[in-house]
Amino acid sequence: MDLSHFDSNNSVSCRLASQVPDVCRTEDCCLGIDEAGRGPVLGPMVYGICFCPVSKKGELKDLKVADSKTLTEEERENLFEKIDEANSFVGWALQILSPNTISTSMLQRTKYNLNALSHDTAIGLVQYALDSGVQLKEVFVDTVGPAEKYEDKLSKLFPGIEVTVRPKADSLFPVVSAASICAKVARDRAVKGWNFQEDLGEVDADYGSGYPGDPKTKAWLQKYLDPVFGYPQFVRFSWSTAKILMDNKGVAVHWDDDEEDGEKAAQRKNNKSMLSYFSASAGGNTQNPTPQTHRFFTERRLKNLDTL
Amino acid sequence: MATKKKRTQSAHTDSWVVMAADSAIDTQKDDSDPAFVRLRNPSTDAASLYLLGSGDVQLFEVKVFEEEFHSWFVGQTVQRDGRLMFVTPMDPLYLILPYLIKSDKEGKFQPMDQVVMDEEFPACSRLLSCTCSLTSLHHVAEEKEVGDLKFHRYSQEKTLNWLKRKVERTVTALKKRHISVGEGVKSSTYVRVKSESDYNEEDYLRYAHGLISEYISEDLSKALLSHLQLPELTSPKETEPPSKKRKLSDNPVEAGEDYTKFNSADFTRKPPKKMTTAQKTLAKVDKSGMKPMSSFFSPKVKAENK
């Protein structure tokens, strides 16, 4: 697995893939999808797919792939080597979603939530396998959100493929386990050798697991908070852990799509209360006594100054 | 906009982001630095900021672009207010004019340094040292020379002609810059497909008059409007486009249906039509204890009392 491409620009999404084994283009195949790094506030989220001919499911099982969560890091690395070596019949592909991609998706004007992002990434990877000529017949997915809805969505998108969405699919189907190992290994490697784009000098790499509950992660987040910029791109800004810290310790930043309390916003926007239209005195007071600035200036937001 | 004011006030810093012509900040000709001065704004009668450059030879007005949710990154610092100041050349005559008009009540020819005096804004006398001030006074005042001294008296006729020329020049500038002057278009960033020929001359004149009015008193603005032979807009409604489609024919409008017949004495309700069998059986149903349908739509007073 060569992560150098991602390391060189880890602010965007990046795809890594193995060679597609020839048998996968001729024989009916099954495919597993799983993700790693959904919860952490630090680092990328990685989506992985693994595929092999339906007839070789047994051989995949023989590799003793199991749910990545039950394995140590070393075991995972070893298993990944085995999967990669079995390139005569097993193929894999990964989509690394950088923390920056996650932040900007979730915090953009039209919100794009993590579930939608996850679904679209999974769909993209299945499409990649199809485009590469893999004869897909079965797809197994560990669920994100309600399983039935997700299964329905995928079935509609890929007619002719039997889609199975199950919670804990990574311990039920070897092909999903294999995908989960690929994803987890990629995530571990990406986080370990994180190449900070920001000029931070020597960065303390002791950030723990990256999960919001980890005391090491919390301490690291406290340490690397910049009052103006917040965090390096390594941090998912959209996580409430990061948000709360920035709100408390950073400089207040106002955006024009900030949601404000109704009354405050109304006051700021110079809106009048609906009630004012019904009161007796409203008629006389609505006329603004100060002369209106010409629209040439108001349209361009230009004003006179009276002091510097 | 109380909150807005608070925000900008706390944001005041020692630095500003300014757009200015080189000539405004040129200190080479004479050693004096350009200076911001507070002077009486002829339109609002309150203080506004101006800049005198090159040893008071040039006058500039200061306008500021200010919109919410803007900040600057300047070098390695952040400036909280996202304001952009514009320093643009201005005709000093506009600022001198109110003083001339005020002194005209005495109806005498007077030396300018006695006319342009203001306890509130003592800096106003510096306006007279602007290059074009004394030489262009003849546009707005009658002149008399006695020996070495020059005396001036305000002339409304001259002033209105001078302002009219200003309006005309503004119209030319508006056309050149493709500024949409028609009513209805409220956004300057909205690019109209229509060519400028679609606006009539009156739209341009009115727009230019409005712009010039930003620099003169309200009375003078009204006088100028009639001098330009533009009728005064009485209600703001007139400036809005007609809300309904214009009728296509000149024939008098007739109501499609005549409702007056219901009011006439000979109008009697028709007896109800015969009920169908289904309606009959429904009518026989015991309705005691049933709520009328309308009760479900009454105000929620009852619910709140619970």
Nearest to A305 among B44, B64, B218 (CB): B64
A–B CB contacts, 8 A cutoff, strictly below: 69
Nearest by CB to A308, from B4, B49, B66: name it: B49
Residue linked to tokens 């009015």: B213
With CA atoms as reference, report the closest residue to A170 among A72, A76, A70, A281.
A70
* Cα R_g (chain B), whole angstroms: 33
Looking at residue B86, what is its pLDDT? 94
Task: Tell me whether residue A142 is annotated as binding.
Answer: yes
**Residue A35 annotated as binding?**
yes
B261 pLDDT above the threshold of 90: no
pLDDT surpasses 50 at B306: no
The answer to whether residue A255 neighbours chain B at the CB level (below 8 Å) is: yes
Interface residue of B7, B50, B65 to substitute, partner A, most A CBs within 10 Å: B65
Q: What is the mean pLDDT of residues B120-139?
A: 86
Q: Does A256 touch chain B (CB under 8 A)?
A: yes
Q: Tokens for B176?
A: 């050149």
In whole angstroms, give the CA distance from residue A73 to residue A181: 10
Directed axis angle between helix A174-192 and helix A73-85, to 10°? 120
| Cα nearest neighbour of A307 on chain B | B49
**Cβ atoms A137, A28 nearer than 8 A:** yes
Tell me: pLDDT of B303 over 50.
no
Average pLDDT, chain B: 78
Which pLDDT score is estimated for B57?
84
Residues in chain A predicted with pLDDT less than 50, given as ranges, are 281-289
pLDDT in tens, A234-256: 999 999 999 999 999 999 999 88
The CA dihedral of A289, A293, A298, A303, to the nearest 10 degrees, is -100
Q: What does residue B31 show for φ and ψ, rounded to 5 degrees?
A: -75, 0
* pLDDT recorded at residue A5: 76
CB A267 within 8 A of CB A133: no
Please tell me the predicted confidence (pLDDT) of residue B290. 75
Q: Mutate which of A253, A258, A297, A308 to disrupt the B interface (most B C-beta within 10 Å)?
A: A308
Residue of A nearest to B3 (CA): A268
- Chain A residue nearest residue B37, CA to CA: A307
Nearest CB among B43, B49, B66 relative to A306 is that of B49
Q: Which amino acid is at A130?
A: L
- Band (pLDDT 50/70/90 cuts) for residue B280 is confident
State residue B136's pLDDT score: 87
Q: Which amino acid is at A53?
A: P
Task: State how far residue A293 is from chain B, nearest Cα, in angstroms.
Answer: 7
ipTM above 0.85 for this complex: no
**Of the candidate ranges A109-123, A208-222, B112-126, B289-303, the one whose mean pLDDT is the lowest:** B289-303
Strand A162-166 to strand A136-142: parallel, antiparallel, or no bridges (unpaired)?
Answer: parallel
Domains defined for chain A, CATH in brackets:
3-193 (3.30.420.10), 215-249 (no CATH)
Judge contact between A150 and A1, C-beta under 8 A.
Answer: no
Residues B168-224: pLDDT tens digits?
999 999 999 888 887 655 454 555 555 545 668 888 999 999 999 999 999 999 999
B106 vs A118, higher pLDDT: A118
Element (H, E) at B282: helix B277-284
Domain ranges within chain B, ordered by starting residue: 156-183+200-232
Handedness of CA A105, A110, A112, A116 (dihedral sign): negative
Residue B243 forms contact with A (CB below 8 Å):
no
Query: Which alpha helices (H) appear in B216-265, and where do they start and end?
Result: 218-227
3-state secondary structure of B259: coil
Q: CA–CA separation, A296 vs B207, rounded Å?
A: 8
Q: Tell me the shortest Cα–Cα distance from B287 to chain A, in angstroms.
A: 41
Residue B37, SS3? strand
**Do the Cβ atoms of B188 and A299 come within 8 Å?**
yes
Whole-number percent of chain B with pLDDT over 90: 32
Nearest CB neighbour to A303, from listed B47, B63, B187 = B63
